[in-house]
A and B are shown apart, each in its own frame.
Chain A
């Protein structure tokens, strides 16, 4: 079992729709969870972090965490073509100090 799993996609949504990206992780000791966005040919950049169960909103982005289910998600409201990118889920293990990334989900927002 991979430590962090994501559906590779591509996930295709029309402009203005809600995009839902999902991630599961295996290390129950994990305390910190992140979503990075990576445009093609570019380096990842942090867009959201979440540490407690529940929802965290920042503009059009909402991160959701459920530690009991070992599940974290990212919702993008009013999706724009500029949101088209690969979204990487990352989980920090407090045991090892490693930040482990999933394989990423490619999002395509069609005008």
Chain B
């Protein structure tokens, strides 16, 4: 596709439910990033994929959070047993090879609201 695509754009869920967020990076981009942005806050690093591997999972807030990537393309971020503090915008970004000087291209984000 022309840009990074995320779905759904908005998700409202009840506390305790599981949610799955999807990211389609720009075709050919091998590096993929997930960030969380709480209201009025900066971007909090969650996880980074190089191909299908995640060299750094240190940003995942708890074991309720997991992410995977298949076919060096689509990635899903899963949050189990959602809590109200999980409410935020979840942003996905991709870059060509994940090099240090590369520009990140961001998707429009998924606004998650946990009631």
Contact = CB atoms under 8 A, between A and B. Distances in A.
B56 A98 contact: yes
Size category of the B interface is: 20 to 34
Contact of B42 (A49, A51, A97, A104): A104
B98 interface: yes
B52 interface: no
A14 to B, nearest CB: 24
A32 B41 CA distance: 22
Interface stretch (A38-46, A56-64, A72-80): A38-46
Interface residues of A, number: 24
Interface string B5-39: 00000000000000000000000000001010000
A34 to B, nearest CB: 8
A43 B107 contact: yes
